């Protein structure tokens, strides 16, 4: 449990170190029709609960892949790191990427040429179809012409041990495409250290205060990812995609320093060292198929079997105390979904079934205890969407069946309704309301009956009696647009009833942490978004900022936390040049007695120049400071205030190049140009 928590913290930390015009548009605009339109000015279309971005010709010529296009679109909620190729959402940790409707990984974005992107649809408030996802990006890609191509994205730090290298080869013939890609992300000698202040109170009232003064220790991380992919696409009627993927991780985290322990009038210093090696391997086969039966009916099928193996261990030494623990995991996963869409004259209906089944065998060390984990999560949904004169609405209902047979038996069915209504009284503004109920199942890590030691004073154990809980969401969105300026105000609240919260107590003279369904958690937030051009048309600003407050009531405690947040981006594009400056502060969340960072404080400045098939880039991450990942435990029994530092993130300077070369036949047919001064409803006129 402790290993997983520390690993997640380090991964979050190191990922951070790498570096609306309102209108309506008929949804019948198809990919093959957009192939014949050249957009001369960028446009943003609000369509129900999603926003559709049409990248203009200049943006596609200045950038080379989908990551760079999404960065150039400046979607306010997104945090796009061009140095690492990662995309995240401020305040959320579950982003779904779709390419032509197909669930995809972020790695694939680097291999999509900018010129092939027809539109990017962003859903910040997904419906029941996208259960448990915080946001969705759906990229519509035009069919590639016949020929062959290569893509290289090579980034390297000039002052730290960090690199990010991606290579893709593709071959298109007829309606088929073959593709091979490989990504290599090494990080070495990433100096990390942590400072920690911890107060421990025993059952007899005795207190121990521990102050940890960390020193720099080298951390090494290596990730290999490769895939082989075959796609068949018959216009927008049929698509089949088969992809075999392999991911290999080999990480080694080290933390060391001096711990000053004070108990009563006695104090002494001890050297502390903690080593966490993590090795993991995952292979899966992704089979995807969609078929447009006729103009009104379409089906989607996706099946992904996966095999996962992982080994993690923890060697913790303080003075004469040594604690070793670890897990050896062998897992098999099967994900499958079937979705049917039906269009009617007044709206559309979608329904489907999604299933996630998993079997795991985990060996806990040093106990040599084997635990089998068998679970399934089956979700069925139906959703109706309709556009009236000035009102757009969605009504959805999901039903989820949870089945856990080991380490204990549990079966339950939960129903999750959702309602979305958008009112457009004037052309320059709209008001929407969303009400949603979601069921959250316990993570298998919380169910483990094996007790593991954290240090000389504390242990942690799961609770096999945990059950799913309900989360209720409500939000109001107000959209405005006027003369090229688009803005949004969002007010929302999330309430979780009897969530899974941790609590600490006493067991056999030591402190024991466990989990239970108890109390509640509430999260209220208000934020604003703004997109506009500044001074000159080449300079654009994307800004999101707000304030949120949280309250958690658990077993014997009530905690409150509040914080302002900001996510801002400036981008200048002229000719073949682009310059980007991006900043977001740390976004922290309170859950139970823990305050953790979801998005870290990050300042990223980059510049790029495009010449023919290449974009040359350079940038700096955090030029005026280093990354620090904070976490707090507010427990009165054993609480701490901890900060992880990555000194290697201070002024991480990187350079890179993106190459996108394609040799093949040129597009045939008439290319029509469209100037968005006429607003995007004219797309339908062009089609007609």
**DSSP E strands: which ranges in 555-671?**
557-574, 577-584, 587-591, 594-599, 602-611, 614-621, 627-633, 638-646, 652-664
Contact call for residues 10 and 219 (beta carbons, < 8 A): yes
For residue range 199-249, list pLDDT tens digits in order: 999 999 999 999 999 999 989 999 999 999 999 988 888 999 999 999 999
Predicted pLDDT at 687: 30
Whole-angstrom distance, CA of residue 683 vs CA of residue 528: 30
Report, as ranges of residue numbers, the positions in the chain whose pLDDT lies below 70: 1-42, 144, 625-627, 647-649, 665-688
Whole-angstrom distance, CA of residue 506 vs CA of residue 503: 10
Indicate the pairing of strand 192-201 with strand 207-215.
antiparallel
**DSSP E strands: which ranges in 113-191?**
117-123, 135-141, 147-157, 163-173, 176-187
Of 496, 413, 409, the C-alpha closest to 447 is 409
Contact call for residues 66 and 142 (beta carbons, < 8 A): no
Order of all β-strands in the sheet with 117-123: 43-47, 50-54, 117-123, 135-141, 95-99, 102-104
Q: Which two tokens stand for residue 505?
A: 């107590």
Predicted pLDDT at 346: 84
Predicted pLDDT at 570: 93
Sign of CA dihedral 433, 71, 131, 448: negative
Predicted pLDDT at 579: 94
Predicted pLDDT at 662: 82
Give per-residue burial for 640-655: e unless 16+ CB within 10 Å, then b: bebbbbbebbbebbbe
Q: What domains appear along the chain, each with residue ranges and CATH number?
A: 2-687 (2.40.170.20)
Residue 419 CB contacts under 8 Å (≥ 6 apart), including other chains: 393, 394, 395, 396, 433, 434, 435, 436
Whole-angstrom distance, CA of residue 351 vs CA of residue 338: 8
Sign of CA dihedral 166, 171, 172, 176: negative
Predicted pLDDT at 22: 33
Predicted pLDDT at 533: 86
For residue range 5-49, list pLDDT tens digits in order: 444 444 343 433 333 333 333 333 333 333 334 443 457 788 778
Contact call for residues 229 and 242 (beta carbons, < 8 A): yes
Whole-angstrom distance, CA of residue 336 vs CA of residue 357: 9
Predicted pLDDT at 35: 37
Q: Within its chain, how far is the Cα of 230 from the centroid?
A: 26
The answer, yes or no, to whether the previous bond of 375 is cis (omega within 30 of 0) is no
SS3 14: helix
């Amino acid at each position: 449990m402790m290993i997983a928590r520390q690993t997640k913290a380090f991964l979050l930390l190191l990922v951070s170190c790498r570096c609306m015009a309102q209108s309506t548009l008929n949804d019948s605009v198809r990919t093959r029709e957009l192939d014949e339109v050249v957009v001369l000015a960028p446009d943003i279309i609000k369509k129900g609960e999603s926003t559709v971005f049409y990248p203009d010709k200049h943006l596609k010529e200045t950038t080379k892949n989908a990551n760079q296009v999404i960065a150039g679109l400046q979607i306010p909620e997104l945090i796009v790191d061009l140095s690492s190729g990662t995309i995240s959402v401020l305040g959320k940790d579950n982003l779904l990427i779709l390419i032509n409707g197909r669930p995809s990984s972020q790695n694939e974005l680097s291999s999509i040429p900018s010129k092939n992107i027809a539109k990017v649809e962003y859903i910040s408030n997904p419906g029941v179809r996208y259960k448990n996802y915080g946001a969705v990006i759906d990229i519509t890609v035009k069919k590639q012409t016949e020929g062959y191509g290569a893509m290289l994205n090579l980034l390297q730090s000039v002052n730290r041990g960090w690199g990010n290298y991606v290579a893709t080869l593709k071959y298109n013939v007829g309606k088929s495409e073959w593709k091979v890609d490989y990504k290599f992300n090494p990080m070495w000698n990433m100096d990390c250290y942590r400072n920690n202040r911890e107060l421990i109170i025993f059952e007899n009232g005795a207190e121990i205060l521990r102050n940890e003064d960390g020193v720099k220790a080298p951390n090494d991380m290596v990730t290999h990812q490769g895939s082989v992919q075959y796609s068949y696409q018959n216009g927008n009627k049929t698509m089949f995609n088969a992809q075999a993927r392999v991911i290999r991780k080999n990480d080694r985290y080290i933390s060391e320093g001096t711990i000053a322990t004070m108990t009563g009038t006695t104090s002494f210093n001890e050297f502390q060292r903690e080593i966490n090696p993590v090795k993991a391997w995952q292979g899966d086969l992704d089979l995807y198929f969609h078929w447009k039966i006729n103009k009104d009916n379409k089906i989607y099928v996706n099946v992904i079997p996966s095999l996962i193996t992982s080994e993690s261990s923890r060697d913790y030494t303080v003075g004469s105390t040594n604690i070793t623990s670890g897990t050896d995991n062998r897992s098999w996963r099967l994900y499958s979904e079937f979705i049917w869409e039906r269009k009617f004259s007044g709206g559309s209906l979608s329904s489907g079934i999604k299933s996630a089944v998993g079997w795991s065998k985990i060996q806990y060390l040093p106990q040599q205890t084997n635990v089998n984990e068998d679970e399934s999560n089956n979700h069925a949904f139906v959703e109706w969407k309709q556009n009236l004169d000035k009102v757009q609405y969605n009504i959805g209902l999901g039903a989820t069946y949870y089945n856990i047979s080991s380490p204990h038996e549990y079966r339950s069915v939960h129903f999750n309704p959702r309602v979305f209504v958008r009112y457009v009284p004037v052309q320059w503004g709209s008001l929407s309301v969303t009400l949603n109920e979601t069921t959250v199942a316990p993570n298998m890590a919380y169910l483990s009956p094996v007790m593991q030691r954290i240090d000389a004073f504390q242990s942690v154990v799961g609770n096999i009696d945990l059950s799913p809980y309900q989360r209720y969401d409500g939000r109001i969105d107000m959209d405005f647009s006027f003369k090229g300026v688009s803005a949004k105000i969002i007010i929302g609240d999330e309430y979780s009833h009897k969530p899974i919260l941790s609590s600490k107590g006493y067991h056999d003279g030591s402190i024991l942490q466990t989990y239970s369904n108890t109390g509640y958690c509430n999260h209220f937030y208000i934020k604003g978004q703004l997109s506009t051009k500044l001074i000159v048309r080449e300079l654009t600003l994307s800004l999101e900022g707000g304030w949120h407050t949280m309250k958690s009531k658990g077993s014997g405690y009530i905690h409150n936390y509040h914080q302002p947040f900001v996510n801002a981006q400036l981008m200048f594009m002229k000719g073949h040049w682009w310059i980007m400056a991006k900043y977001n502060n740390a976004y922290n969340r309170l859950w139970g007695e823990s305050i953790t960072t979801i998005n870290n404080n990050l300042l990223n400045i980059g510049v790029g120049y495009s010449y023919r098939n290449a974009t040359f880039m350079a940038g700096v991450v955090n030029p005026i400071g280093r990354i620090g990942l904070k976490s707090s435990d507010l427990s009165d029994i054993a609480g701490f205030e901890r900060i992880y530092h990555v000194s290697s993130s201070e002024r991480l300077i990187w350079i890179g190049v993106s190459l996108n070369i394609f040799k093949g036949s040129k597009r045939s047919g008439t290319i029509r140009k469209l100037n968005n001064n006429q607003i995007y409803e004219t797309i339908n006129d062009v089609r007609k």
